Every structure is written in C-alpha cells, then in structure tokens.
Amino acid sequence: MSEIPNSEAGIVAPAPLPSSVAPPDVRQTAPPIIRAVGLGKTFDDARLRLDVLKDVDFSVARGERVAIVGASGAGKSTLLHCLGGLDSPSAGEVWIGDENMSALSDAARGRLRNRTLGFVYQFHHLLPEFTALENVAMPLLIRRMPAAQAQAQAGELLQRVGLGERLQHKPGELSGGERQRAAVARALVTQPACVLADEPTGNLDTRTAERVFDQMLELNREFGTSLVVVTHDLHLASRMDRIWTLDGGRLIQTSGS
C-alpha cells in the first residue's frame, strides 16, 4: 500500500514539566537507572574471535539523556541490546535499578523489560496487521491492563505526538515519520524508567528526524524518563546531557559532566 503524504506538522506541544521530575543536581546523586559493570561481549566462530565490548563501565541517572556514538560496526547496537537484556554479555553485569539482569530467568528479564524499559529502533517494528492504537497499547496489554484502559492510555499518547487522526490507521497507511512517532509513543506508553533508542531517526529525512527527536526530548523531560540514544548524527547527539564514544570495544565519555 502506498504511503499517504507526510503530516509532520501535527506534533502537539507537551504540558509544562511536572514538579515531580527531579532537577539535574538531584538526578546526578540518585541511584542509576541502568548500570553496566565490566561489560564484555565476544563473538566466536571457527576462524575468528571478535571482542566487541571490553570491560565497559557505564551508568545512566534518572531523567538523564545520553548519546552513544561511534563508527559503523563498532558495537553500539550490541551494547544497547546488552543494556536492555535483549542479548547476554560474555562478561560483566547489567543492573536495572536493583535487579541484576544476569541473575534473572528469560521470563523474569522479559517482565523487567516491560516494567522498566522502552525501546525505539531504526526500523519502527510496528506490527503491520494492527492499527497504530493497537500497536501502542500492546505493552500495556502485555501487563494485563484491561483493553479499554490500555487503548485510552495509548490514544492519549498518540494524540500527544500528533497522531490523533491516525489511531485506526495501520502502519502501511502512515508516512515514515508518523510510523516512527507511533514507535516513540509505544516505547513511552508505560512511562518506563528508561528508553533505549537505536538510530531512531536513521531512516528519516533531516527535517522529519529533527521533529521526531524533538518529540522524544519533550516527552523525556515531561515523564522524567532516562534516554539512551545510539546515533551516528553528531548534531542530535550534541543535544544530550552526555556523549559517550565506543571505539575498539571501549566506551569513553567525550562530552558532558
């Protein structure tokens, strides 16, 4: 099905920042939302051993915005997958709050992800047979929230990202920017402690990418949700609180305090 024309101008400005969101000085002293300790990831086959991550120490505070940059193939996505419990590290530990991901069963890791994390990918990964409303409600339904309540919450957030007129449209009936905004809404509908985003604007033109990123930052501020973004776009990275560079398997802070 052909895409309908872009309607990126429909983004709705968020409400003022609620007083419950901690100011920057408090964020830095609060316990981290995500913490990696001595993280390593090695891929082995019959001919080659590749150390993608080497002794990575990394943490993200409540409400903090962090960018991870590096050359293509440096292992940025691998790091994000390990942080989110989508892949298991070869060494070290990842903690989400006070939970050690390595000590959990697959089912317990899945519950922890649903409870505390949201994910945005370069490709939206919306389910094509479901509407935008159904896609965004899905994480709430997995929590066993009643369907009417889940759809009401999803609809409210879709309205916030400018898709109030697109609730019943399936992904194939949305523009690229609209699909990615729906993916952002799906990541944030549970108001997670942290959103992990892997090249979230990589498939968008510059103008649309800027608008989608603006929306992510606005909702980050409003909800007090931490944000970790893997990106090759140094302009977008410069808008974050800290920038880390992954090079040779090691993660080095290159900007921010």
> Looking at the domain assignment, is residue 87 inside a domain?
no
Q: What is the CATH number of the domain that holds 230?
A: 3.40.50.300
Q: Tens digits of per-residue pLDDT, 218-243?
A: 888 888 899 999 988 888 899 899 99
Instruction: Inform me whether the pLDDT recorded for 2 exceeds 50.
Output: no
pLDDT value for 177:
85
The domain of 157 spans 63-82+114-254
CA distance 19 to 222: 9
> Looking at the domain assignment, is residue 102 inside a domain?
no
> Looking at the domain assignment, is residue 20 inside a domain?
no
Q: Tens digits of per-residue pLDDT, 118-136?
A: 998 877 789 999 999 999 9
> Is residue 230 a contact partner of residue 220, using CB atoms and an 8 Å limit?
no
Range in 10-24, 148-162, 181-195 the model is least confident about: 10-24
Crossing angle of helices 176-188 and 132-142, in 10° steps, is 20
Instruction: Inform me whether the pLDDT recorded for 246 exceeds 80.
Output: yes
> Looking at the domain assignment, is residue 29 inside a domain?
no
> Looking at the domain assignment, is residue 51 inside a domain?
no
Strand, helix or coil for residue 137: helix
Tally the domains of the chain.
Answer: 1
Q: Is 8 exposed, middle or buried (0-12, 13-18, 19+ CB in 10 A)?
A: buried
| Token code pair at residue 152 | 């009401």
**Size of the chain, expressed as the number of residues it contains:** 257
Quickly state the pLDDT bin for 257 (edges 50, 70, 90). Answer: low
The conformation of residue 53, written as its DSSP 8-state character, comes to E
pLDDT value for 30:
66
Helix (H) or strand (E) holding 96: strand 91-96
> Looking at the domain assignment, is residue 246 inside a domain?
yes
CA distance 186 to 204: 18
Q: Tens digits of per-residue pLDDT, 45-96?
A: 777 888 889 999 999 999 899 999 988 888 899 999 999 988 889 999 999 9
Q: What are phi and psi for residue 168, nearest 5 degrees?
A: -95, 10
> Looking at the domain assignment, is residue 30 inside a domain?
no
What is the percent of the chain with per-residue pLDDT over 90, rounded to a whole number?
Answer: 40
Distances (CA, A) of 224 to 86, 87, 142, 214: 23, 26, 23, 15
CA distance 177 to 185: 12
pLDDT value for 22:
43
> Looking at the domain assignment, is residue 103 inside a domain?
no
CA distance 214 to 65: 13
